[in-house]
Chains A and B, each alone.
Chain A
Amino acid sequence: MATLWPFISQMNPDASTIAAGAPIEVDLSPIAEGQDIKVFWRGKPIYISHRTKKQVEEVRKVPVSSLIDPATDQSRTKDGHEQWLVVIGICTHLGCIPIAHEGNYDGFFCPCHGSQYDASGRVRQGPAPLNLPVPPYQFVSDTKIQIG
């Protein structure tokens, strides 16, 4: 069994791939309210949205129990930075990239199989089973985050 391990382990990401997947810092100051940017981390697109007051109010008003994958907006954002939403832009259905600012929930719309997410990245209409995942990140300062 131990002999087999190197032959399986070699398939995992190699050292340079892991190194390239180190945390990145993103400056938030150029993103105006209502805008969003897409950055790549570990080959995955990450949406950073500067949400409007209206969007934040709306997603916090939704009863959590009515969601497909129940989660509060508070649990998906950082306290004191509730205008910022950071999510991995990969549809949880089969891995396509949803389009921001589209769909019926003022959030994301996946063009592949029609999943819709709200402005908190929570799935509101199938076939996706889960919310858009929130990557590990923290605020380094008020206008800068570190992803990873």
Chain B
Amino acid sequence: MSGPSNYQPSHPALKWLEQRLPIIGLVHSSFVAYPTPRNLNYWWTFGAILSMMLGVQIITGVILAMHYTPHADLAFKSVELIVRDVNYGWLIRNMHACGASMFFLAVYIHMFRGLYYGSYKAPREVLWILGVIIYLLMMATGFMGYVLPWGQMSFWGATVITNLFSAVPYFGESIVTLLWGGYSVGNPTLNRFFALHYLLPFLIAGVVVLHVWALHVAGQNNPAGVEPKTEKDMVPFTPYATIKDFFGVTCFLIFYSWFIFYMPNYLGEADNYIPANPAVTPAHIVPEWYYLPFYAILRSIPNKLAGVVAMFSAIIVLVFLPWLDSAKTRSNKYRPLGKQFFWIFFVVCIGLGYLGAQPPEGVYVVLGRILTVLYFAYFLIVLPLLARIERPRPLPNSIADDVLAKSGRKAVATAVVGLVAALSLFAGSTGDARASEGQENPPSAKWSFAGPFGTFDRGAVQRGLKVYKEVCSNCHSLQYVAFRNLSEPGGPGYTPAQAAAFAAEYKIKDGPNDAGDMFERPGRPADYFPSPFPNEQAARAANGGAAPPDLSLIAKARSYKRGFPWFLIDFFTQFQEQGPNYVNALLQGYEETPPHGVTIPEGSYYNKYFPGHAIKMPPPLSDGQVTFDDGSPATVKQYAHDVATFLMWTAEPHMEARKRLGYQVFVFLIIFAGLMYFTKKRVWAAAH
């Protein structure tokens, strides 16, 4: 990609090919002999990291598409079946779901790096604009991908985002109908989003090729921001950049794996484990963390059309950045004022992200407006003005001089790690800031499955199953759990024969038979737990208007806000037991008489931990109701704890496999990163 290659293959077969299609020469000149500046720091490895992430997302995405069903009635279930039944399906799904967040995290670092070091300035304007196009495509892809699992947040996120287009004057409603293919978000919408979600990554890959091409024409920018003058300023791409990129990628993989194996739902949304329901709106509709700054800008403007225009302008303004900032000095290292304003801008972006996750009321609205003004002021006022008034510090004569003058490379590496951690924590904070409000959090119980080496307490899962069977199953279904699961590794630990015997106790409706009639037969291991009600309406009618939710995923579909500073600590301690804590507390949270000043409607019961406190479910458990064979106490406390353990297993039957594989991957990656680091040091020893 950088002009004709001087590469000469020695093998006759390769020579033959090279004369007909000079592809090896192209690769050689682009990724082997290609000269890169000597002074690049680790911020420059994010290009390689992003290429890897695009590859990971495409490969995992194609695999997931082979198992996924893009239909409004089947999508949610098909995702659950991927996670439960497909071999390593849980791994591939976690890689893809967390991968989206990692992809955006990397692209934000890449963009801020470009901003700090002035990588958008001549002659790299087209390179920068191609980057903005990639970012826009990524946003569209990420949004449509989030719709596909068809959970509550998927559905309502799609509704809110597509409704943005209704702000267009005159044609708004027609555009929205066109996007939906119906009169509301529905099956046609899901179908087309799936098709586009599959298509767009390949478009991104195409634009990435242009981006790399443009990069190789203009050459890389560097921390000093001076153009290379002599050969001494440069090192060949291989081995220097290659080995450095490998080390950067490995470090990033360690960070990424922390999410895949230990915190898969940390960046997600508990509500998305509830199937989409067009009749119920979640209390807070919040987009994924990577859209939050723009969401904050949208909401800070009281006029709908102006809000939408501002939100899109916030991205489009980046296209004009090369001309808004006309300062001659590229790198902010040599711009004393520019540097300060850059960091203010960085904080503004983080602040907008935080506000995007908060309810739009009171002080948050005022702050949102201030930060929105500051965001635009940076591009439209500060940068043009600085270019005229700022007196930059003297630049080094050449890149080689910069390298000689440099110390503290380690500081940069630490900064990378620090920033990555800070950004991810910020992302996590937004995730936590969305759960229930205005009431006491459930106390944290002790769980055998918590932490990186946690395993299910077999006895507790078995006892929980008994409580479910004798009590909960009278009203609550468990539709994603099959009897065969009871004998699978990592579960209650029954033998296949025991599971079959357990199944045979149930009557399963089957048919039609040869006469065309439905009939009942004893359950088989392949059958799923039968539901107590034939449909949701029947469940609703029999329970005073509130349908008892399915319990398969309840331990992942319920959460609560942990608040500052707990969400920070949770990232390191891998705390993610909000769901079981909630179930455990709810079952014990009934009180005969509500506290003073709280009125509970007729037919409801006071529960300390239920959002709103008025729950339709009567206290389900009482002491002595279920007897255990293993001598565990027959108390509500024991029942609640066991059933919560059981429901954590039903929500994630492969949790033990996830944590075990995580341990192996971590050992491998840490050793590999160490080897990479020392190889890199060796390779670079002469170049510094």
Q: Which residues of A contact B (CB under 8 A)?
A: 8, 11-14, 17, 21, 38, 40, 42-45, 93-97, 110-114, 126-127, 129
The chain B residue with its CB closest to the CB of A17 is B182
Q: Is the CB of A95 within 8 A of B160?
A: yes
B163 touches A11 (CB 8 A): no
Min Cβ gap A88→B in Å is 10
Question: B283 to A111, Cβ gap below 8 A?
Answer: yes
How far apart are the CA atoms of A111 and B303 in the complex, in Å? 19
Q: Which residues of A contact B156 (CB under 8 A)?
A: 96
Give Cα distance in the complex from A93 to B298, angstroms: 12
Please name 17 pairs of A and B residues whose Cβ atoms are closer than 8 Å in the assembled complex, sorted by A: A11-B179, A11-B181, A12-B181, A14-B188, A40-B278, A40-B279, A42-B182, A42-B183, A43-B186, A44-B184, A94-B159, A95-B160, A97-B281, A110-B281, A112-B285, A114-B360, A127-B302
Task: Check if B686 is an interface residue, CB within 8 A of chain A.
Answer: no
List of 5 A-B pairs having minimum Cβ-Cβ separation, nearest first: A43-B184, A42-B183, A96-B281, A95-B163, A94-B160
Is B28 an interface residue when CB atoms closer than 8 A count as contact? no
Contact call B361/A114, Cβ cutoff below 8 A: yes
Query: Considering only CB atoms, which chain B residue lies closest to A38 in the complex?
Result: B279
| B279 near A129: Cβ-Cβ < 8 Å | no
B71 nearest CB across to chain A (Å): 15
Q: Residues of B contacting A38 with CB < 8 Å?
A: 279
B299 at the A interface (CB under 8 A): yes
**Residue in A14, A97, A113, A129 whose beta carbon sits within 8 Å of that of B299 in the complex:** A113
With A11-B179, A43-B182, A44-B184 in contact, do A94 and B302 touch (Cβ < 8 Å)? Answer: no
Residues of A within 8 A of B282 (CB): 111
With contact pairs A12-B178, A94-B163 given, residues A114 and B359 touching in the complex (Cβ less than 8 Å): yes
- Cβ contact within 8 Å between B279 and A43: no
- B280 part of interface (Cβ distance < 8 Å): yes
Contact A111 B360 (CB under 8 A): no
Question: B281 contacts A111, CB within 8 Å?
Answer: yes
Q: Enumerate B334-357 residues with CB–CB distance to A below 8 Å.
A: none
Asked if A97 contacts B280 (CB within 8 A), the reply is yes
CA distance A13 to B284 in the complex (A): 29
Contact (Cβ within 8 A) B183 A21: yes
Interface flag for B192 (CB, 8 Å): yes
Instruction: Point out the residue from A12, A45, A114 that lies within 8 Å of B278, measured CB to CB.
Output: A45
Interface bits B275-297 vs A (CB < 8 Å: 1, else 0): 00011111111000000000000
Query: Cβ of A127: which chain B residues have Cβ within 8 Å of it?
Result: 299, 302, 360
Which residues of chain A are within 8 angstroms of B78 by Cβ–Cβ distance? none
A-chain residues with CB within 8 Å of residue B283 when the two chains form the complex = 111-112
Q: Judge if B638 is at the interface, Cβ distance under 8 Å.
A: no
Q: Which residues of B lie under 8 Å from residue A11 when comparing CB positions?
A: 178-179, 181, 192
Chain B positions near chain A (C-beta within 8 angstroms): 156, 159-160, 163-164, 177-186, 188, 192, 278-285, 299, 302-304, 359-361
| Interface of B, helix, strand, loop or mixed by DSSP | loop
- In the assembled complex, the Cα of A61 lies from the Cα of B670 at a distance in Å of 72
Chain B residue with Cβ nearest A43: B184
Return A121 CB to nearest CB of chain B, in Å. Answer: 17
Measured between beta carbons, the chain A residues less than 8 angstroms from B360 are: 113-114, 127
The distance in angstroms between the C-alpha atoms of A40 and B360, with both chains bound, is 29
Chain B, Cβ-Cβ closest to A11: B178
Q: CB distance B178 to A43 under 8 Å?
A: no
Residues of B within 8 A of A21 (CB): 183
| A43 CA to B155 CA, complexed, in Å | 13
Cβ–Cβ < 8 Å partners of B164 in chain A: 94
B302 with A13: CB separation less than 8 A? no
- Contacting pair B160 A13 (CB below 8 A): no
Q: Which of B179, B278, B284 contacts A43 (CB 8 A)?
A: B278
Chain A residue numbers with a CB within 8 Å of B302 are: 126-127
Given A113-B360, A129-B304 in contact, is the A44-B183 Cβ separation under 8 Å?
Answer: yes
Question: Which residues on A sit within 8 Å (CB–CB) of B185?
Answer: 43
Q: Is there an interface contact between B184 and A96, defined as CB atoms closer than 8 Å?
A: no
- Cβ of B176 to closest chain A Cβ, rounded Å: 9
Can you name 17 extra interface pairs (CB under 8 A) apart from A43-B186, A112-B284, A114-B361?
A11-B181, A13-B180, A13-B181, A38-B279, A43-B182, A43-B184, A43-B278, A44-B183, A45-B278, A95-B159, A96-B160, A96-B281, A110-B281, A112-B160, A112-B285, A113-B359, A129-B303
Bound: A145/B356 CA distance, A: 42
A114→B285 CA distance, assembly (Å)? 12
B279 contacts A97, C-beta separation under 8 Å? yes
For B158, the closest partner residue in chain A by CB is A95
How near does chain B come to A111, taking the closest CB pair, in angstroms? 5
| Minimum distance in angstroms from B164 CB to a CB of chain A | 8
Q: Are B281 and A13 in contact (CB-based, < 8 A)?
A: no
A13 touches B188 (CB 8 A): yes
Contacts of B299 in A (CB 8 A): 113, 127
A44 to chain B: which residues have CB within 8 Å? Answer: 183-184
Q: What is the distance, in angstroms, from B196's C-beta to the closest C-beta of chain A?
A: 11
Q: Which B residues touch A8, using CB under 8 A? A: 178
The answer on a CB contact under 8 Å between A93 and B304 is yes
Q: Which residue of A lies closest to B279 (CB)?
A: A45
